[in-house]
Structure 1
Amino acid sequence: MIRQCLLPLALPLLMATSAGVHAQYASPAVQPPQDVAYPGTIRLEVDATNLNQRIFKVRETIPATPGELTLLYPMWIPGGHTPRGSLDKLAGITFKANGQTLAWKRDPLNVAAFHITVPEGATEVVVEFDFLTATGPGQGRVVMTPNMLNLQFISTALYPAGHYMSRIMFDTRVTYPAGWTAFTALHEEGRSGNTVNYEDVPFDILADSPVYAGRYARQIDLTPTGSARPVRLGVVADAAKYLEAKPAQVDIHRAMVAQAFKLFGAQHFDHYQFLFSLSDQMGGNGLEHQRSSENGMGTGYFTDWKEKVGFSDLLAHEFTHSWNGKYRRPADLWTPNFNVPMQDSLLWVYEGQTQYWGNVLAARSGMRPLPASIDALALVAATYAENRPGLSWRNVQDTTNDPIIASRAPLAYRNYQMSEDYYSGGQMIWLEADALIRAGSGGKKSLDDFARAFFGVNDGEWKVQNTYTFDDVVATLNAVYPHDWKSFLRERLDGRVGLTGGIEAAGWRLVFKDTPSAYAKGSASPRWGGADFVYSLGLMIGKDGAISDVRWDSPAFNVGLGSGASVIAVNGQAYSQDVLEDAVKAAKGTTAPIELLVKEFDRYRTVRIDYHDGLRYPHLERIEGRPDYLTPILTARK
């Protein structure tokens, strides 16, 4: 009764207080981007020499006129598909004009916007700040070490609101540690000591042209000398010995580039610079750009190479993005600046078909031998045959929202939650499309024809983005081979049809054997040292016995095991991979359960798994009597 009496009296006061609060914190609106040139050229100076404290020191000189000025920090990062800009790493920011420090105000609704008032008589504003890079992986990706750095200009620049990023010019200069070599798609205009002056470019091109620099570096030509549009591999490493690549290894990378040119039939760059780090200190990554790509692997990429396993498909994947994703970009992923939200509905083309071509190019070039390529595909097929129970409630199309929903954070039950399945799920869809075209055309047409027609247009053009829609994809497929492509795609994307049909359509079948494939064994990371019981018990277990994943509704899950627990003992014997494998083998065809002692936080308990089907690992085998389309798909083009 008291609450009922007080409420009418309190409500006007609450409303008045709320209105006052909103008035108090109201700020100037952020101007929407317009296709209008920003007057003058912004000078961006980055000091990248503070390796010990891992700090980029930034100074910007921005032409300005008296009045209100809003500067934005980029948040929607191309290739990230999510607002993951590193705004939290800016510190010590100051704005000055006419030698005086200016007051600034952060927009309370758009926290990446900074509002300042340019005083009378001022012709420019000087902005200074420190970009505090991660000093450990818990703070984000490490981008500075004693021997290398990764400078992303999109993270070290503010830009004026109210203009397309393509209409804002930047004059950029970077000071590197003495004696270091820097790789970037930007052309140099001059040097002064350790400071490099790069060509003036619009902000969209600057942001798309990051730098890898290092103490130990090597540039490798991947196209013949004198090529009109050369492709180069710029490698930085933790030590000089990791740069040593055998001539045969270099030839494989050259073959990958040549096979990409044969596939697409056009090039959308004036030159292309692979940025490649071989490091156990700087964080690994893979990020596409129009004229370059950021690629990070461990130190043993060349030195620990296994011929039968081959190389990763990372470089082939990111190179494919120059055509698919950068030059030809989904219409809802194109934005006029880096603070307008992107939409990810077509990532199953942008990333899914790139995943497909990355694996195909790895096979065609020999980066991954044919048997290893088939074994690698078996792992993907098994995922969508048995290890995505999340497809019971969620479809591939919905996972295109995952970059925004989850921001690639670790998941407790990825197989059930699903996460960015437009990559490998998309790969399965495009494999089936390729097999369908080949079968229906009697081998006269293939998805290669789609790639050339869709991505290989306007040879040499790169300073514009050629956007596309779902209907554009369907129309080009129909021009290659008439079919009800709209229904084909929607049924698979929206979850009404399984994703493994391309395996049998290509003349192969998924089977399970009691030993892993040579590729699965050879490509396992020795640092992880984990054990794969996904298709038997339903567990993935790390070297230390920690359970990293439990397949939903698997034998392990159904006795109450969850990710995060640790296996201590198996049938009374201390856990090791061999001990658990022997226990699974021994239980085959019997009725005795497998007994695990597990630790969860500070508690121990025993669980008994009633599983008797033995070890199971995915393989592909030929279907007798059916045409083999998979081998031609993975075979080099002449």
Structure 2
Amino acid sequence: MIVAASGSRLLPPASKGYVLLRPLSKRFLALSLTTALVAAGMAGRPYSVRAADSQPQPEPLALPDSVPVPRDVPFGGTIHLTVDATDLARRVMTVRESVPVPAALAETGGDMTLLYPMWVPGDHSPTGTIEQFGGLVVKAGVAPLEWVRDTVMVSAFHVRVPKGVHALNLSFQILSPVSPEEGRVVMTPEMLNVQWNAVALYPAGYFTRQIPVQAELRLPHGWQYGTALRAHGPAGDVVTFDPVPFNTLVDSPLFAGRYFRRFDLAPGAAAPVTLNVMADKPAELAATDAQVKAHQDLVTQAGLLFGSHHYDHYDFLLALTNELGRIGLEHHRSSENSGPRGYFTEWDKTFAVRDLLAHEYTHSWNGKYRRPADLWAPNFNTPQRGSGLWVYEGQTQYWGYVLSARSGLMTEQQVIDALAEVGAMYDTRQGRTWRPLQDTTNDPVIAQRSPLSWRSWQRSEDYYSEGQLVWLDADTLIRKLSDGKHSLDDVARHFFGTNDGSFVTSTYQFADVVKALNDIQPYDWATFLRQRLDRTSTHAPLDGFTRGGYRLVYTDQPNDWVKSFAAMRHVTDFSFSLGFLVGKGGTLANVEWGSPAWQAGVTRDAQLVAVNGEAYDPDVLQDAITAARDPHAAPIALLLHMGDHYVTIAIPYHGGLRYPHLQRIPGTPDMLADILAPRH
């Protein structure tokens, strides 16, 4: 406590914990103050008791409420948007935009706020590429107007509109990444990806469904394109699209390329479905009839599952590329997807990524049509919340695997192998002991998919694949409780199949999910779900495996799905033995928390140089792990290059190579086989 002289104006009330004394000598008072200042960590600093007490403390400055909130009223005009995407060398898109000024504002003049979209649908976080936005010039006719960026919402631009001005003419550039080090590459010499949210500003104060837009795009000469938008006018390098609401424009991206091919996936259907494929090399477009048939069967099997469609036409956009940035993003009437260059030409090797199209197609029903209420927003700058992502993404992940098997994009055994890997990964993930699955639905905002030092401990977007295990658990339980009369298929048709043909979003909350399950099979589904979502645990929810007739086991041989995935991602997987992945050049891509490698002090991004004194390659490490199964064997010695240092780390591991598999439980029904079988 501070000791001060009685009668001083500096004395606070006694109730604050101060002690009042009689006047003391100046020397004693100085010593007392020095003692107090030392205790407060302020010794040696200039200090005036009187000035400190009389100077007012800072108070927070109120944040300006300067961006109009969206209202569900017509904007009153049509935005004209023109994008030139021909500067492939510099990877620059040049944009011109004419934005009408609302009539009331034109009469008086005043502030008009324009927004750059930040909350990109499907990303579940503010991932808008505002850092790529540059060169903004605003004019009224030919007269330049000043603009000011909002200091709180930095994606908002305030323009002082003079009285009598009826339109703003904008020009700017999108300076897209020239290499993956700056972000996702969207322009290459052979192809490009136009995401309209990246190349447009829109007026604040309106629901985006109330803002009409007429878009025009200039492509490199002779290129073809795919999009859910529909064009009018003569064909050519400049494409003029039909007017649509701004939210529909953003939900309708475009792929274009020098080498392009289209496949009809629903011949004769009232709602056409098209697979639009572009590739780095023309030879990569050589799909066989059987491969096309598998994609056609995906459309058929999804229709049988959901009993509806929520589009008037649907366009798969698929880039087979090593150059364009990887993507898998859902839209209501299309999806953006990337695959390996051997997607068709090395069909037997690329199956580990072939659930992607099935996953994104499922999102037309689950995510775009039916959507968690807190993931719907009136515009693209209103924050969203992801509490329902375990349905939005988790059940979609489940149907992605199921539909891949039912359509023939993957075999039944390939999907079972993939499920084994998923089960093992989440069963051994240490982060589940402190962080519940529900909390991972916040991860798109927390981490925005940035690299994590200890992903297995921090957890990431686990609502995808652990959510998939929860829905397998639910599916097998419905089948057991109903004696095989019902399944999650019935829930999907009941929940996602309403309003056939409509693509107006229908929102839901937790209670609606529980009701849908109970409508098909009565049970305490609320408790079932909350236990799996809210509780921490040592093991993953694997009851779907055992109830489905399988158990998770480990052998010293990887299954075929692991081999396919490892080959395409250029990694070697030692996750379930030493506890790490090894990528290109011997770099450790991940180290599992609590694993033998972790216990020995190994971290990710170290370069594995040698194993037991022998230069590293995957076979050398596999042989060393196998030899160390002898309990008397010496620890496995790894020479690692970490920063500017070389260190040798000894790992006393004797468990041998371990890879997950699902093994049939004798004498039990094979529910997984029934789940994965095609519907008729």
- Interval of TM-score (by shorter of Structure 1 and Structure 2): over 0.9
Query: What code does the residue aligned with 1:39 have?
Result: G
- Kindly indicate whether the alpha-carbon contact (under 8 Å) linking 2:566 and 2:572 is maintained by their aligned counterparts in 1: no
Separation in 1, partners of 2:51, 2:490: 70
Separation in 2, partners of 1:42, 1:11: 53
Query: What code does the residue aligned with 2:191 have?
Result: M
Matches within 5 A, 1:164-563: 164-191=207-234, 193-224=236-267, 226-306=268-348, 309=351, 312-386=354-428, 388-462=429-503, 464-496=504-536, 498-526=540-568, 528-563=569-604
Report the counterpart of residue 44 of structure 1 in structure 2.
81
- Answer yes or no: is 1:122 the counterpart of 2:165: yes
Separation in 2, partners of 1:247, 1:471: 45
Separation in 1, partners of 2:278, 2:364: 22
SS where residue 101 of structure 1 aligns? strand
- Greater CA deviation, 422-431 or 238-247? 238-247
Separation in 2, partners of 1:270, 1:449: 24
- Answer yes or no: is 1:81 the counterpart of 2:81: no
Report the counterpart of residue 137 of structure 2 in structure 1.
94
Return the TM-score normalized by structure 2.
0.90
Separation in 2, partners of 1:375, 1:308: 14
- Greater CA deviation, 55-64 or 496-505? 496-505
1:208-247 deviations in whole A, cap 9, x for unaligned?
01110111111100001x3210100001111211111011
The number of aligned residues is: 627
What is the CA-CA distance between 1:496 and the residue it aligns to? 4.6
Return the TM-score normalized by structure 1.
0.96
Separation in 2, partners of 1:480, 1:62: 50
Q: In 2 relative to 1, CA 182–309 (structure 1 residues): closer, same or farther, beyond 3 Å? A: closer
Q: In 2 relative to 1, CA 553–338 (structure 1 residues): closer, same or farther, beyond 3 Å? A: same
Separation in 2, partners of 1:582, 1:27: 64
SS where residue 620 of structure 1 aligns? strand
SS where residue 219 of structure 1 aligns? strand
What is the CA-CA distance between 1:489 and the residue it aligns to? 0.4
1:504-523 deviations in whole A, cap 9, x for unaligned?
11110000001111222233
What is the CA-CA distance between 1:30 and the residue it aligns to? 0.8
Identical aligned pairs, as a percentage?
51
Q: In 2 relative to 1, CA 557–6 (structure 1 residues): closer, same or farther, beyond 3 Å? A: farther
- Greater CA deviation, 236-245 or 285-294? 236-245
Structure 2 residue corresponding to 1:619, chosen from 658, 661, 664: 661
SS where residue 303 of structure 1 aligns? coil
Query: What code does the residue aligned with 1:86 have?
Result: T
Query: What code does the residue aligned with 1:410 have?
Result: P
Q: In 2 relative to 1, CA 27–556 (structure 1 residues): closer, same or farther, beyond 3 Å? A: closer
Structure number with greater Rg is: 2
Separation in 1, partners of 2:455, 2:228: 36
1:566-608 deviations in whole A, cap 9, x for unaligned?
2222222222211111111111132222222222222222222
1:229-288 deviations in whole A, cap 9, x for unaligned?
010000111121111101110001111111000000000000000111111111110000
Report the counterpart of residue 607 of structure 1 in structure 2.
649
Report the counterpart of residue 10 of structure 2 in structure 1.
none
- Tell me how large the CA RMSD over aligned residues is: 1.7
1:460-511 deviations in whole A, cap 9, x for unaligned?
111x210010000000000010010000001001125542221111110000
Structure 2 residue corresponding to 1:564, chosen from 599, 605, 611: 605
1:50-73 deviations in whole A, cap 9, x for unaligned?
111111111111111232211111
5+ unaligned residues in a row in structure 2: which ranges?
1-32, 34-45
SS where residue 233 of structure 2 aligns? strand
Separation in 2, partners of 1:562, 1:63: 55
1:16-57 deviations in whole A, cap 9, x for unaligned?
xx88xx69xx86611100011001111111111111111111
Matches within 5 A, 1:131-150: 131-150=174-193
1:334-359 deviations in whole A, cap 9, x for unaligned?
00111110000000000000000001
Report the counterpart of residue 49 of structure 2 in structure 1.
5
SS where residue 173 of structure 2 aligns? strand
- Kindly indicate whether the alpha-carbon contact (under 8 Å) linking 2:119 and 2:126 is maintained by their aligned counterparts in 1: yes
Query: What code does the residue aligned with 1:451 have?
Result: A
Separation in 1, partners of 2:446, 2:643: 28
- Kindly indicate whether the alpha-carbon contact (under 8 Å) linking 2:639 and 2:648 is maintained by their aligned counterparts in 1: yes
Query: What code does the residue aligned with 1:626 have?
Result: T
- Kindly indicate whether the alpha-carbon contact (under 8 Å) linking 2:349 and 2:564 is maintained by their aligned counterparts in 1: no
SS where residue 585 of structure 2 aligns? coil
Report the counterpart of residue 155 of structure 1 in structure 2.
198
Separation in 1, partners of 2:239, 2:674: 47
Query: What code does the residue aligned with 1:366 have?
Result: G
Separation in 2, partners of 1:611, 1:408: 32
- Kindly indicate whether the alpha-carbon contact (under 8 Å) linking 1:310 and 1:366 is maintained by their aligned counterparts in 2: no
Separation in 2, partners of 1:31, 1:193: 40
Matches within 5 A, 1:554-593: 554-592=595-633, 593=635
Query: What code does the residue aligned with 2:52 have?
Result: P
What is the CA-CA distance between 1:121 and the residue it aligns to? 2.1
Runs of 4 or more off by more than 6 Å in structure 1?
none
- Kindly indicate whether the alpha-carbon contact (under 8 Å) linking 2:339 and 2:353 is maintained by their aligned counterparts in 1: no
Separation in 2, partners of 1:468, 1:120: 44
Separation in 1, partners of 2:436, 2:567: 30
Separation in 1, partners of 2:446, 2:352: 34
5+ unaligned residues in a row in structure 1: which ranges?
none
Separation in 1, partners of 2:608, 2:676: 40
Separation in 2, partners of 1:518, 1:7: 75
Report the counterpart of residue 94 of structure 2 in structure 1.
57
Separation in 2, partners of 1:384, 1:193: 51
Q: In 2 relative to 1, CA 128–6 (structure 1 residues): closer, same or farther, beyond 3 Å? A: farther
What is the CA-CA distance between 1:4 and the residue it aligns to? 4.4
What is the CA-CA distance between 1:7 and the residue it aligns to? 4.9
Q: In 2 relative to 1, CA 394–466 (structure 1 residues): closer, same or farther, beyond 3 Å? A: same
Q: In 2 relative to 1, CA 371–9 (structure 1 residues): closer, same or farther, beyond 3 Å? A: same
